[in-house]
Structure 1
Amino acid sequence: MPVSLDGKLVVAVSSRALFDLEEENQLFETTDDRAYMELQMQRLEQPAKPGVAYPLIQKLLRFNEPEQQRVEVVMVSRNDPVSGLRVFRSAEHHGLKVERGVFTRGAPPYKYLDSLNANLFLSANDDDVSAALCTGFPAARVFPQSIKTAEQHPDEIRIALDGDAVLFSDEAERVFQSSGLDAFVDHERSHSQTPLPPGPFQPLLKALHELQQASSHLPIRIRTALVTARSAPAHERAIRTLMSWNIVVDEAMFLGGLEKGPFLKAFAPDFFFDDQTGHCESAATAGPTGHVLSGISNEHRLKRVR
């Protein structure tokens, strides 16, 4: 019987998302890939330091048991195969069971996400993230400057998500940007009983919910939070939308435009996902952050990759 990833939570992660390779990447961007390859080979025995996605990946792999592998982490990277040697050795050094990888030497790697049945793609490359989102995969560009907070809650995976254009579609956000706050509030009040269409990260939240249900006997837990600029009365449609999906979040923060960073510091996420750069910059001071390049706020980027 052939090997299959069906039924697993599959996380595709780039080398720069999982490990801190910013110094090496600067050489790549200022010279060429051959100099980069040579540096990686020189550092083959030097394990790379953990990157932004490392705490999340480390915790997710704890859902695996010898008799039941529930999570699969796959390297999907623009790195060349030679540089991939260091990536795999770094993973082994840190005790991460990462066995599969796709290395494309500069070519867009997102096209392999379909073959992997990926539930999430984390990368440091704008174009790869945008292309993945356009083809229907939850994806985010990691903020390399994000602080890491995994040690605060060692037995919990804490995931925080923005609402509009991330967990939900950008339907309401388009009303806000075209007609202003009052029109947005009126629109959401009149549509409070109508669930919002799913956004790009709804499938991930659903998959995390299913993973938790399937592994309730394990000591590691998943805790989720909706962190949105919405406020009452626009909160009702968001809550009813989650109810219609039969998905429960543990916390919900309706901030009415307040800066998200201070609230995320209190929540201490292993990852936060938002579609707006300003919110991501604030969130990066609180924990690992991913910019979801979707919706009306990122249309200029999406058009570039279509």
Structure 2
Amino acid sequence: MSISLDDKLVVAISSRALFDFEEENRVFEAGDAAGYMQLQLQRLDQPAKPGIAFSLIQKLLAFNDTTSQRVEVVVLSRNDPVSGMRVFRSAQAAGIHLQRGVFTQGRSPFGYLRPLKATLFLSTNADDVRGALAAGFPAARVLTESVRAGTNYPAEVRIAFDGDAVLFSDEAEQVFRRARPRSLPEHELTKAAQPLPGGPFKPLLTALHRLQQAGNPQMRIRTALVTARSAPAHERAIRTLMDWKIDVDEAMFLGGLPKGEFLREFEPDFFFDDQTRHVDHAALHVPSGHVAAGIANALLSP
């Protein structure tokens, strides 16, 4: 019988997003690729410490059991195959079940997302993330300077999402930036009953919903919408989720307040946002990733 990933939530993740390879990466960034490879080889039997996305991966894999394998994690990395050996050994030492990995030795790996049927791509490389998003895959650049995930909810995968340009399209953000900001509440109020188009992370939210519905007595998923929207613009966001028949456990309409302190209370294993100022502030409190999508990032591009 042929093997397929069709029915799984597939997370493709880079080595530095899963493990703390920052010391080794400094050697690579200094221009010494051979020295980097040699250092990884020297440390082959030294398990790497957990990286920023480790908690998210560990908890998602806990949905697997002896009767059902619902989640697959694949390392998709610019690393060389020699360094890949250390990744697999570090995963084994940490109890992270990895079977598959693609190591491209410096070349962009995001093209392999399609044959992997990836549900999510997490990487520390901004160009790879942009390429993945352009190809239609939920993807985020992991901020390696982020605070690590807390340990208060071992039986819950906690994920927080921004709304516009992440779960939803950036339609509202375009109105906000191209028209007067005061016109946004009126725009959203008049379209409150009209669902927003899906954003780049709608497929991930849908996959998480299916995973939750499949059930697991040991693990559950708790999601939060954390948005700068305020009333009356909140209604369209809620009605959009209702139209998708997807529930989120918590919704925070912060009206421009900094998100970091609220996220610290929610304690997610990961937070996704499209705006760098929000992500940078959130990273002071929780594991965070930048989604380089929508007009906010188009305006930042050279």
TM range (shorter): over 0.9
Q: Which residue of 1 aligns with 2:110?
A: 110
Q: Could you tell me which runs of 5 or more consecutive residues in structure 2 were left unpaired when the two chains were aligned.
A: none
C-alpha contact 1:63 1:218 (8 A) present in aligned 2: no
SS in 2 for 1:63: coil
By how many angstroms is 1:300 displaced? 5.3
The residue aligned with 1:139 is 139
Cα 1:147–1:109, aligned 2, differ >3 Å: closer, same or farther? same
**2:149/2:270 contact within 8 Å kept:** no
**Mean CA deviation greater in 180-189 or 66-75:** 180-189
Q: What's 2:225 paired with?
A: 226
Task: Give the Cα separation in 2 of the matches to 1:295 and 1:36.
Answer: 35
- Taking the aligned partners of 1:66 and 1:209, their CA distance within structure 2 comes to 21
Give the AA of the match of 1:263.
F
Instruction: Report the 3-state secondary structure (helix = DSSP H, G, I; strand = E; otherwise coil) of the residue aligned with 2:226.
Output: strand
Match of 2:47 in 1: 47
TM-score of the aligned structures, taking structure 2 as reference length: 0.98
The aligned amino acid for 2:26 is Q
Instruction: Indicate conservation of the 8 Å contact 2:52/2:149, yes or no.
Output: no
CA RMSD of aligned residues (A): 1.0
1:1-306 matches, cutoff 5 A: 1-215=1-215, 217-299=216-298
In structure 1, how many angstroms separate the alpha carbons of the residues matched to 2:99 and 2:200?
Answer: 27
Amino acid at match of 2:136: G
Amino acid of the structure 1 residue aligned with 2:285: A
Give deviations 1:55-88, integer Å, cap 9, x for gaps.
0000011000112101000000000001100000
Look up the SS of the partner of 2:277 in the other structure: helix
Query: One-letter code of the match for 2:237?
Result: A
Is the 8 Å Cα contact of residues 188 and 237 (structure 1) preserved in structure 2?
yes
Deviations 1:30-65 (A, max 9, x none): 123111101111111111100000000000110001
- Measured in 2, the distance between the counterparts of 1:26 and 1:148 equals 20
Task: Report the TM-score when normalising by structure 1.
Answer: 0.97
Equivalent position SS for 1:11:
strand
**Identity percentage of aligned residues:** 63
Runs (4+) off by over 6 Å: none
